[in-house]
């Protein structure tokens, strides 16, 4: 009898294990299938939060939300078209010349390293420049051609941009039903707390969005002025555009944007290389301590390690779009943890400074944190 019960129990465990594994597999496949959709509408929500204050301002000045949305879209598209009309031809020509000349600059850098740092093992091979650029190009193409495990095609990009554009317009024009229905789903007991969390999220994400836009504009202009007008470095416009775009990638982006102009500068003269490095340090210092605080105050107060972790994980999972939403995701996670877990337990928080002071150092004052 006991043996029969054991057999039945084993069968039940096997059936449970199979069903559990099947359920896990279905859940994983489901989330894999909708990950791109969730990602796309996360970007829509982000754009809506950033642009909504402009529409609200127009609404207060007697312009309906639908009219304000159309006016904003036409204004942005007009400004982008005007900038592209004047900048694109020069950018195209300088970028083509840069890619043609980059192997020569890389070879000059390798020769300089071999002449001055040969004792460290640097050796110069005349074909290394073109090989290095070719390998870099292949790696960049492979990286840009995927988002996680998703292959990007031109049709995918156009369709995604179209859906994102149309969804953002409709959400900006009439966001109230979406927010109200979401809060109604939570019930009266949780709706008020959710509204507070959404309000805090909106403020922080807008602050991040404005800081990114201000940083991109400031860094792009300052980089072009420093490299092109002051240092007379070739290809200043592509380097300025690259520096502006990489402002989206926090902490890591500014470092990456300085590598190509540094290579070109070192390929021309070591003194120019030094001035380029100094210029990038000054630009980043000016942005972080003057431009961004002047526009948005003290930022979103995220620890650099949290930002790097978020960029690394989401970039590995979703590629470029993952990198773009990495900081908003980190902000969202931080606020949710703070509102749903830490604040309800404030009376039970361990005195971290007393317990772990020798490990974490002295406690900063609020002024130092800011």
The reply to whether 363 falls in a domain is no
The pLDDT tens digits for 266-315 are 888 889 999 999 999 999 888 877 776 665 555 567 777 888 888 888 88
β pairing state of 146-147 and 150-151: antiparallel
Q: Where are the alpha helices (DSSP H) in 118-153?
A: 128-144
The reply to whether 226 falls in a domain is yes
The beta strand positions in 118-277, using DSSP E, are 146-147, 150-151
Task: Spell out the per-residue pLDDT of the chain, length 370, in tens.
Answer: 556 666 767 677 787 778 888 888 787 777 777 777 888 888 898 889 888 989 999 999 889 999 999 999 999 899 889 988 888 888 899 989 888 888 888 888 778 777 666 555 555 555 554 555 555 555 554 544 444 444 456 677 788 888 989 999 999 999 888 888 888 888 777 888 888 888 888 888 888 888 888 889 989 999 999 999 999 999 999 999 999 999 888 778 888 999 999 999 988 888 999 999 999 999 988 887 777 666 555 556 777 788 888 888 888 877 777 888 888 888 998 998 888 888 777 655 555 555 555 555 555 554 444 3
Q: Dig out the tokens for 4 from the structure.
A: 């029969």
The reply to whether 104 falls in a domain is yes
For the residues of 53-68, what is the DSSP string, one character each?
Answer: HHHHHHHHTT--HHHH
The reply to whether 354 falls in a domain is no
Q: Dig out the tokens for 46 from the structure.
A: 């982000």
Q: How far is CA 143 from CA 149, 250, 264, 308, 318, in A?
A: 11, 19, 23, 19, 11
3-state SS, residue 146? strand
* CA 249/CA 237 separation, integer angstroms: 20
Report which DSSP code applies to 150: E
* CA 219/CA 10 separation, integer angstroms: 65
Report which DSSP code applies to 341: I
The reply to whether 368 falls in a domain is no
* CA 212/CA 245 separation, integer angstroms: 10
Per-residue confidence (pLDDT) for residue 274, from 0 to 100: 94
- pTM for the model stands at 0.72
The reply to whether 361 falls in a domain is no
What is the total count of domains within the chain?
1
The reply to whether 308 falls in a domain is yes
* CA 303/CA 325 separation, integer angstroms: 16
The reply to whether 301 falls in a domain is yes
Structural domain span for residue 284: 2-346
Q: How far is CA 244 from CA 60, 168, 171, 207, in A?
A: 33, 24, 28, 18
Q: Are 112 and 266 in contact (CB under 8 A)?
A: yes
């Amino acid at each position: 009898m006991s043996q029969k019960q054991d057999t039945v129990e084993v069968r039940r465990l096997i059936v449970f294990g199979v069903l559990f594994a099947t359920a896990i597999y279905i859940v994983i496949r489901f989330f894999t299938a909708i990950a791109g959709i969730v990602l796309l509408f996360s970007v829509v929500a982000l754009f809506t939060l950033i642009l909504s204050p402009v529409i609200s301002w127009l609404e207060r000045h007697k312009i309906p939300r639908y009219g304000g949305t159309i006016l904003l879209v036409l204004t942005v598209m007009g400004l982008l078209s005007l900038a592209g009309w004047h900048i694109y031809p020069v950018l195209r020509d300088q970028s083509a010349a840069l890619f043609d000349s980059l192997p020569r600059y890389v070879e000059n850098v390798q020769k300089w390293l071999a002449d001055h740092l040969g004792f460290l093992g640097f050796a110069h091979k005349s074909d290394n420049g073109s090989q290095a650029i070719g390998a870099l190009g292949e790696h960049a193409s492979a990286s840009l051609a995927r988002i996680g495990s998703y292959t990007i095609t031109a049709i995918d990009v156009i369709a995604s941009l179209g859906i994102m554009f149309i969804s953002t317009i409709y959400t900006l024009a009439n966001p109230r039903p979406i927010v109200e229905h979401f809060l109604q789903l939570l019930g009266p007991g949780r709706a008020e707390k959710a509204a507070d969390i959404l309000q805090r999220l909106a403020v922080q994400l807008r602050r991040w969005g404005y800081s990114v836009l201000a940083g991109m504009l400031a860094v792009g202009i300052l980089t072009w002025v420093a490299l092109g007008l002051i240092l007379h470095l070739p290809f200043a416009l592509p380097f300025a555009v690259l520096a502006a775009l990489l402002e989206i990638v926090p902490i890591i982006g500014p470092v990456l944007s300085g590598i190509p102009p540094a290579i070109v500068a070192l390929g021309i003269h070591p003194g120019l290389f030094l001035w380029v490095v100094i210029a990038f340090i000054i630009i980043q210092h000016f942005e972080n301590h003057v431009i961004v605080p002047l526009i948005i105050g003290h930022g979103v107060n995220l620890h650099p390690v949290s930002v790097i972790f978020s960029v690394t994980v989401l970039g590995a999972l979703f590629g470029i779009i993952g990198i773009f939403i990495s900081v908003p995701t980190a902000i969202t996670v931080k606020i949710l943890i703070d509102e749903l877990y830490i604040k309800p337990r404030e009376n039970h928080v361990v005195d971290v400074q007393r317990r772990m002071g020798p490990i974490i150092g002295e406690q900063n004052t609020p002024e130092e944190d800011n």
